[in-house]
Amino acid sequence: MGAARTGRKPPRVGDQPLFRRMLIGIVLVIVALLIVAPLVVIGVEAFSKGWAVYRDTIIHPDTLHAIGLTVFAAIVAVPVNTAFGIAAAWSITKFDFWGRRFLLVVIEIPFSVSPIVAGVAYLFVYGLQGVFGPTLDEYGVKILFAIPGIILASMFVTAPFVARELIPLMQAQGRDLEEAATSLGASGWRTFFSVTLPNIKWALLYGVVLCNARVMGEFGAVSVVSGNIRGQTNTLPLHIELLYHDYQAAGAFAAASILALIAVFTIIAKVALERQGAGRVRRPALVANPAEKTQ
């Protein structure tokens, strides 16, 4: 009552200067020790033996193959999971059906399951002693310890990223615009490309960026299903581990610097997309004439 009478805002937690400075200081120290320091160490150690060693490590055939395999896995996994995320978000937010909540829970499973456990599960499904392993071996189809297994494992761990960004946004947007476009005679595809996609494009790109970064850095599940064959089934994270175990610390840090650069570019893209409205749940204003959205 006193604050209301005097017109002053009630005090907030942390308004005291000493408490505010202590809290900010603690956060800065933790950020410096847990995030900044490792990145600085990677950069310093990568060039600890000179530019020549760094260059030779990057252009080594095994490193180039690992980079190429990592990029190839992303090229396959990211578009597939993007299409899956859009389809899942569309189904959950635009339709009412039995099992809708269960589907939402299933999509979130890769976030709660350890990647290594997922890799082991693939062994019991596609391995020689697994459910489909003998049949696949009979027809000469190799999934595990080959590129298909790496792609499957990458797709599993990144499956929820796009859907997780789209579902809250599409739920907040509702179905009004799509129903208005449909009532004016727009087809399903026309409604999607002219109405739905423009309203979710930034969140979609946000999810794609996060999905791509996760594919590039995946280690646990891929390490189980790939077999760690140097120059054949080694992705970049696995190649870094091999270099480190071979006592090539400078080479391992040189290869790790590539992933660090990918992380930096991912953060920049993430911030840029957030400024465009990605990751924010907003309900767009209805247009005066919905027919304009379908033309």
Per-residue pLDDT of the chain in tens (295 residues, 90 and over written 9): 555 555 566 666 666 778 888 888 999 999 999 888 888 888 888 888 888 888 888 999 999 999 999 999 999 999 999 999 999 998 888 888 888 888 888 998 898 888 999 889 998 898 888 888 888 888 888 888 889 999 999 999 999 999 999 999 888 888 888 888 888 887 778 888 888 888 888 889 889 988 998 998 889 889 999 888 888 888 999 999 998 888 888 888 988 988 888 888 888 887 777 776 655 544 443 343 444 444 4
Position 172 scores a pLDDT of: 86
Encode pLDDT of 253-278 as tens digits: 988 988 888 888 888 887 777 776 65
Position 138 scores a pLDDT of: 85
Q: Is residue 191 part of a domain?
A: yes
Same-domain status, 33 and 64: no
Query: How many domains in the chain?
Result: 2
Q: Is residue 5 part of a domain?
A: no
Residue type, 72: F
Same-domain status, 119 and 253: yes
Q: For the chain, count helices (H), then strands (E).
A: 17, 0
State the residue range of the domain holding 23: 12-46
Same-domain status, 34 and 59: no
Query: Is there a contact between 181 and 290 (Cβ–Cβ < 8 Å)?
Result: yes
Q: Is residue 212 part of a domain?
A: yes
Position 278 scores a pLDDT of: 55
CA distance 202 to 114: 29
Query: Is there a contact between 176 and 249 (Cβ–Cβ < 8 Å)?
Result: no
Q: Is residue 1 part of a domain?
A: no
CA distance 162 to 115: 18
Same-domain status, 251 and 274: yes
Same-domain status, 80 and 172: yes
Query: Is there a contact between 63 and 239 (Cβ–Cβ < 8 Å)?
Result: yes
Same-domain status, 85 and 120: yes
Q: Which residue has the tokens 């569309």?
A: 90
Encode pLDDT of 152-180 as tens digits: 999 999 999 999 999 998 888 888 888 88
Q: Is residue 7 part of a domain?
A: no
Residue type, 68: G
Position 29 scores a pLDDT of: 94
**CA-CA-CA-CA torsion for 164, 165, 167, 169, nearest 10 degrees?**
160
Going from the C-alpha of 248 to that of each of 22, 38, 204, 216, 243, the distances in angstroms are 41, 18, 40, 22, 5
Same-domain status, 67 and 100: yes
Q: What is the pTM of this model?
A: 0.79
CA distance 201 to 129: 44
Q: Is residue 3 part of a domain?
A: no
DSSP 288: S
Same-domain status, 41 and 54: no
Same-domain status, 226 and 244: yes
The domain that contains 167 carries what CATH number? 1.10.3720.10
Same-domain status, 76 and 204: yes
Same-domain status, 246 and 284: yes
Nearest of 118, 69, 123, 49 to residue 239 by alpha carbon = 69
Position 78 scores a pLDDT of: 93
Same-domain status, 222 and 79: yes
Residue type, 255: A
Going from the C-alpha of 22 to that of each of 13, 14, 190, the distances in angstroms are 13, 10, 55
Neighbours of 271 (CB within 10 A): 10
CA distance 76 to 111: 20
Q: Is residue 230 part of a domain?
A: yes
The 10 Å CB-count burial string (b at 16+, else e) for 93-132 is bbeeeeeeeeebeebeebeeeebeebbebbbeebbeebee
Position 294 scores a pLDDT of: 41
